[in-house]
């Protein structure tokens, strides 16, 4: 995939060179609360997370989570992309940003570009999203992006109850 570009952002594939960025992001309190602890405690863990997660997904499906940075400075601000989970019948969109970049339209801008890429370039007919029950900021953003609440789900036996949103057929 060629990098996606918006007015203010650049979205590109991750690489193992992004380990320091990943280590910081996945240990943010907001990530731990709403996405979960990925067990990434050092740079080796971060590289392994990248290799077995996003990089493996690129190889298998041709898409995954993308590194989001400010176009003018190159400053990394978060992740946004498409995820293919074995526990969901549809591709889902995911995003996480450092708290200092919340409420500035970056999530909407990045996710809009990813949705357009998924629908128009990849030809997906339907894209879903999952959120924690109390992740009100993400729920609001999904509504702005045109995804509507469908139902409550769990991804694994005894797992957390999540909200499932969808857009498309």
Domains and CATH numbers, the chain: 4-168 (3.40.630.30)
Residue stretches of the chain with pLDDT short of 50: none
Contact predicate 22/43, CB 8 Å: no
Q: Among 159, 109, 104, 106, which residue's Cα sits nearest to residue 130? A: 159
Whole-number Å distance between alpha carbons of 36 and 116: 27
Whole-number Å distance between alpha carbons of 143 and 146: 5
Torsions phi, psi for 155 (to 5 deg)? -90, -15
User: What percent of the chain shows pLDDT beyond 90?
Assistant: 92
Q: Which residues pair with 147 in a beta bridge?
A: none
Q: Which helix (H) or strand (E) holds 110?
A: helix 106-116
pLDDT in tens, 51-77: 999 999 999 999 999 999 999 999 999
Prediction pTM value: 0.93
pLDDT attached to residue 153: 95
Whole-number Å distance between alpha carbons of 142 and 146: 6
**Backbone angle region of 103, left / alpha / beta, with phi > 0 → left and psi within -120 to 50 → alpha:** left
């Amino acid at each position: 995939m060629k990098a996606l570009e918006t007015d203010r952002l650049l979205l590109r594939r991750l690489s193992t060179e992004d380990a320091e960025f990943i280590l910081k992001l996945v240990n943010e309190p907001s990530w731990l609360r709403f996405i979960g602890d990925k067990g990434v405690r050092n740079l080796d863990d971060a590289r392994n997370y990248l290799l077995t997660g996003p990089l493996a997904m690129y190889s298998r499906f041709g898409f995954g989570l993308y590194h989001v940075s400010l176009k003018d400075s190159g400053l990394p601000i978060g992740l946004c992309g498409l995820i293919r989970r074995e526990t969901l019948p549809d591709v889902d969109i995911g995003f996480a940003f450092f708290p200092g970049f919340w409420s500035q339209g970056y999530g909407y801008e990045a996710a809009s570009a990813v949705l357009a890429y998924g629908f128009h370039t990849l030809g997906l007919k339907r894209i879903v999203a999952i959120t924690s029950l109390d992740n009100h900021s993400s729920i609001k953003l999904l509504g702005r992006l045109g995804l509507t609440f469908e139902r409550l789900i769990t991804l694994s036996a005894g797992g957390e109850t999540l909200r499932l949103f969808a857009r498309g057929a």
